Amino acid sequence: MTTQPLLELQHVDTYYGPVQVHFDLNVRVLHGEIVCLLGGNASGKSTTMKLILGLVKPRAGHVFFNGVEISGMATPQIIRLGMGSVPEARRIFSNMTVRENLLMGAYHRRDRQAVNDDYERMLALFPRLKERLGQRGGVLSGGEQQMLAIGRALMGRPRMICMDEPTMGLSPAFVERVLELIQTINQQGTTIFMVEQNANLALQIAHRGYVLQNGHIVLEGAAAELLDSRAIQDAYLGGQGT
């Protein structure tokens, strides 16, 4: 790990028209980390993803990725810098085949041979997708679509992947598999920034976490500390923990 964060949000304020969504947001993700952004409904989690991906511009503050200011950049430019995304509700291309969906993740790459190698790696990583390469994305189960969305993101060879509620709506068995997969991907060198409503799940695999409440970061810390804190559980995470 180097000391310069891979991703840094500095004093970010975000608005939709007159409505302020983020208030002085400060978030850092270091190389190699899994960092989760926790918070209830409408706290501004997805807007944070959109901000990082260039879909929403901050009205104040800065977003840096790998040392480059990306606030104000267009999404394709940010992706070319090494950002990957697994958006909310997966957003796979339902009329395209599994194979086409995977290859779409590499649309901006010119290194054909390496793309082919990565495609083969994806088939090894996702045997379930390998069996369904010719099927349309839309006919896959929710869990399979999530695998496909993650595989598609990996096909871009990103430095970092942002994931918006990757376990939402999945069966318990698929939730476990997706969490294991995120850990595997991270161990293979990809930094992860994930948004989750389910704090107890996210903190099982994350190194650090931030808690967002009505657009303010109200807590941050090591995942183990956040998980262990009774006060935090009660106040922010729904009291499902210890």
Ligand X SMILES: Nc1ncnc2c1ncn2[C@@H]1O[C@H](COP(=O)(O)OP(=O)(O)O)[C@@H](O)[C@H]1O
Question: Which residue's CB is nearer to ligand X, number 89 or number 222?
Answer: 89
Q: Which residue has the tokens 């590499």?
A: 106
Of Mg ion, ligand X, none, which one does residue 113 interact with (CB within 5 to 8 Å by kind)? none
- The contact set with Mg ion (CB under 5 A) reads 45-46
Of ligand X, Mg ion, none, which one does residue 16 interact with (CB within 5 to 8 Å by kind)? ligand X
Least gap, CB of 88 to ligand X (angstroms) = 7
Phi and psi at 181, nearest 5°, equal -65, -40
Of Mg ion, ligand X, none, which one does residue 21 interact with (CB within 5 to 8 Å by kind)? ligand X
Least gap, CB of 96 to ligand X (angstroms) = 26
Question: Which residue's CB is nearer to Mg ion, number 25 or number 115?
Answer: 25
CB 48, CB 37: distance < 8 Å: yes
- Please name which of 37, 143, 42 lies closest in space to residue 90, comparing C-alpha atoms: 143
Bridge partner residues of 27 (DSSP): 9
Question: Which residue's CB is nearer to Mg ion, number 196 or number 220?
Answer: 196
- Please name which of 210, 139, 143 lies closest in space to residue 174, comparing C-alpha atoms: 143
Question: Which residue's CB is nearer to ligand X, number 21 or number 52?
Answer: 21
Least gap, CB of 177 to ligand X (angstroms) = 23
Of ligand X, Mg ion, none, which one does residue 39 interact with (CB within 5 to 8 Å by kind)? ligand X
Alpha-carbon dihedral of residues 39, 35, 46, 240, nearest 10 degrees? -30
Least gap, CB of 85 to ligand X (angstroms) = 14
**Cα distances (Å, whole numbers) of residue 119 to 57, 93, 112, 156:** 33, 17, 10, 10
Of Mg ion, ligand X, none, which one does residue 186 interact with (CB within 5 to 8 Å by kind)? none
Least gap, CB of 192 to ligand X (angstroms) = 17
Of Mg ion, ligand X, none, which one does residue 82 interact with (CB within 5 to 8 Å by kind)? none
Question: Which residue's CB is nearer to ligand X, number 44 or number 151?
Answer: 44
**Cα distances (Å, whole numbers) of residue 116 to 111, 119, 123:** 9, 5, 11
CA atoms in the 13 A half-sphere facing the CB of 73: 18
CB 146, CB 174: distance < 8 Å: yes
Least gap, CB of 63 to ligand X (angstroms) = 15
CB 1, CB 28: distance < 8 Å: no
Question: Which residue's CB is nearer to Mg ion, number 89 or number 139?
Answer: 89
- The contact set with ligand X (CB under 6 A) reads 16, 21, 39, 41-47
Edge-to-edge strand ranges of the sheet holding 60-65: 19-29, 7-16, 60-65, 68-69
